[in-house]
Amino acid sequence: MMLKRWSIIIIILFLTVLKSMGQNINPPGLNCVTNQVNGDVLLQWSLPVNTCGTFVSYDIYFSSNINGPYTLLTSISNSMSTSWLHSGANGNTQVLYYYMRSNYNCPSYNQISSDTLDNQDPSAPMINYVSVSGGKAVLNWQISPSAETRSYIIYRYNGGFNPIDTVWGRLSTGYTDAGSKPDIQSEEYTIAAMDSCFNTGPFALTAHHTILLHANADPCSGLIQLNWISYGIWNQGVDNYKIYLSLNGGPFVLDATVSSNNNNTYQLALNNDNDSICIYVEAFQKNGTFTSKSNKLCFRANLLQAVQYTFLNRASVELDASVTIEWLPDINASITNFQIQKGSTPNNLNGIYSKVAPNPIPGLMSYNDQNVSTDKRAYYYAVLTSDSCNNKSLTGLVHTIHLNTLPRPDLKNYLKWNAYEIEYGQVDAYNIYKMDASGSWILETSVAGIENSFIDDISDEINGIGTFCYRIEASGNLNLPNGQTIAFSSFSNKDCLDQLPIIRVPTAIVPSGTNHTFKPVMLFTDLNYYLLQIYNRWGQQIFESTDYATGWNGTINGQIAIQDVYTYLIRVQSVAGKEYTQTGTFMLIR
């Protein structure tokens, strides 16, 4: 019985010792150590959580050598302190290392040291590779050797390295750049470490970039020429590049291994027209385990079919005064380029725009030419098509419509335009549109396709301000050599005119009769600019008014003027701001 009792006591003592050995005093969370301008060093920490005993101090140890020995620098007696300044540390001229401990009145508890931090900005990690995955650039790096590291700043090159994102956590080692475009450009990156106090260290020693893969297919020879940007970034260099190929949606398989001394090129043979092909290149590190993938290129094999035709569809002037040209390409041909040609005459066409053929080629293509003066002239256009074997096809010409309008003094507007011309096209009619007071275009009338002028009688529109705007539309059909018949519609420029002011005056007034006031009747004038003057036969001015509502009542200084011939002068402005003057005589009858 006594032996059993001593066994229990020994077990209890052993468990008590074991428990005390497992209790620790947590240190402050030393976040960052920062040099000040004058060489002082600022330490900043987060408060620890300790539940044993009473607080005594936070103890700060330092050394000029990371391996020590470390000396107690100071003790902080305020348990709520989170920073301390090491004055006179000369931190700008030397590297100092610090760690902290919490001192609590907790017998038998272990004091745990914080991370050891130095007064330098956190060291940049080494980048392992930059690759492409899912159409985006992916970075991978090694953990920063600086214990104070709390995050990593990712920098992308755009005329200089600019920060694009922050990755939190010292142990983080990867990042995907959602804003990258590795399919169209090589994206280059570097990285820096940042501590909790936002002190950012230097860039990584070596920036890494994605491999940009290009492919140039030659349907004439049935070959695809691959070339890519070298990944000569690793210290050990590139061992080789592997080309992976997916055919018609199948899995990627190794197609070839290319030496790193092969100028980053490879020639791939096309076997079947219309095959669906995807390719990417992967660089393998020499004497290492890292790799870097390029962007993926996917396309459909298109063995040469020479261009057979290109038909013009229309050329029309838009309301913004630009010109839209449309054409019908040979969608079965291996077209590489379209060139728009323009000129003011049929014999001086010049290339104004080149467009790489899209894949696939749509049945109708267009170009909007904004470098035009459609209010001054019409233009000739043609489209030159080139295929991948340098075969060329030039369309005939299309000639846009240029409209000129002129006011006539008989309340008529004269419209004149050139004929709309297009290869294989026949104009059936010209539709004449006029803008109404609301700004809407109203079909005024249509004339035969052989006409190129029209006189618009506006005598029933004398209540307007005198501004009239017109457009001409050519309508007809294309009768193409391949048997197609396609309706077309092409507009002219918008042309506006201001009708001439119309001024009508009485030939005589009778002050005591019915027509007792001399006052003009006017159309298409701006009444804010009006002058009426009356002169007697000796040239003396006897009346003047700038108010259209006020005419001459046949009196001079309140007395009825003598019966005689008088002269008038009327000066007005059109709504366009042009000044008009009309003079004449009239008879005053008593």
Tens digits of residue pLDDT in 423-440: 999 999 999 999 998 999
How many angstroms separate the Cα of 348 from the Cα of each of 398, 423, 428?
Answer: 14, 18, 28
Question: What is the average pLDDT across 245-250?
Answer: 94
pLDDT in tens, 484-535: 999 999 999 999 988 878 888 999 999 888 888 999 988 888 888 899 999 9
Question: Binning pLDDT at 50, 70 and 90, where does residue 463 land?
Answer: low
| Residues in CB range of 381: below 8 A, 6 or more apart | 312, 315, 323, 325, 340, 341, 342, 349, 369, 397, 398, 400
Count of other CB atoms within 10 angstroms of residue 331: 12
Q: What is the pLDDT of residue 214?
A: 95
Q: Which residue has the higher pLDDT, 410 or 87?
A: 87
Whether the model clears a pTM of 0.85, i.e. scores above it, the answer is no
Q: For residue 136, is pLDDT > 90? A: yes
| Nearest alpha-carbon partner for 323 in 338, 337, 309, 344 | 344
Nearest 5°: the CA angle 444, 449, 451 is 75
Q: For residue 12, is pLDDT > 90? A: no
Q: What is the pLDDT of residue 169?
A: 94
Q: For residue 13, is pLDDT > 60? A: no
| Residues in CB range of 13: below 8 A, 6 or more apart | none
Q: For residue 94, is pLDDT > 80? A: yes
Q: For residue 15, is pLDDT > 60? A: no
Question: Binning pLDDT at 50, 70 and 90, where does residue 464 land?
Answer: low
Question: What is the average pLDDT across 92-98?
Answer: 94
Q: What is the pLDDT of residue 11?
A: 44
Question: What is the average pLDDT across 260-286?
Answer: 89
Q: What is the pLDDT of residue 590?
A: 81
DSSP string, 334-386: -EEEEEEEEESSTT--EEEEEEEPPSSPPS-EEEEE-S--TTT---EEEEEEE
Q: What does the longest C-alpha to C-alpha distance in the chain come to?
A: 160
Question: Binning pLDDT at 50, 70 and 90, where does residue 22 land?
Answer: low
Question: What is the average pLDDT across 416-423?
Answer: 97
82 φ, ψ to 5°?
-125, 5
Q: For residue 18, is pLDDT > 50? A: no
Q: What is the pLDDT of residue 382?
A: 97
- 523 contacts 540 by C-beta, under 8 angstroms: no
The two three-digit tokens of residue 177, written as one number: 């750049």
| Nearest alpha-carbon partner for 241 in 282, 195, 198, 295 | 282
Task: Scan for tokens 């066409």, then name that residue.
Answer: 349
94 burial (CB, 10 Å; 0-12 / 13-18 / 19+) is: exposed
Question: What is the average pLDDT across 550-579?
Answer: 89
Q: Which range, of 162-171, 344-353, 471-480, 571-580, averages the lowest pLDDT?
A: 571-580
The two three-digit tokens of residue 327, written as one number: 């054409």
Question: Binning pLDDT at 50, 70 and 90, where does residue 19 land?
Answer: very low
The two three-digit tokens of residue 300, written as one number: 């459909």
- 312 contacts 327 by C-beta, under 8 angstroms: yes
- CA count, 13 A, side-chain hemisphere, 12: 6
Three-state secondary-structure class, residue 14: helix
Percent of residues, the chain, with pLDDT higher than 90:
75
Q: For residue 3, is pLDDT > 70? A: no
Burial 214-224 (b: 16+ CB within 10 A, else e): ebebbbeebeb
pLDDT in tens, 356-380: 999 899 999 999 999 999 999 999 9
Q: What is the pLDDT of residue 244?
A: 97
DSSP 142: P
Count of other CB atoms within 10 angstroms of residue 375: 14
How many angstroms separate the Cα of 314 from the Cα of each of 58, 396, 421, 423, 472?
Answer: 85, 12, 10, 10, 14
140 burial (CB, 10 Å; 0-12 / 13-18 / 19+) is: middle
Q: For residue 394, is pLDDT > 90? A: yes
Strands (E), 388-437: 392-394, 398-399, 403-408, 412-417, 421-422, 425-435
Question: What is the average pLDDT across 228-242?
Answer: 92
Q: Which residue has the higher pLDDT, 137 or 300?
A: 137
Q: What is the pLDDT of residue 4?
A: 46
| Nearest alpha-carbon partner for 396 in 302, 499, 309, 515 | 309
Query: Across all residues in the chain, what is the average pLDDT?
Result: 91
- 156 contacts 189 by C-beta, under 8 angstroms: yes
For the chain, domains (ranges, CATH) are: 22-118 (2.60.40.10), 127-209 (2.60.40.10), 213-300 (2.60.40.10), 310-396 (2.60.40.10), 403-498 (2.60.40.10), 502-588 (2.60.40)
Q: What is the pLDDT of residue 272?
A: 78
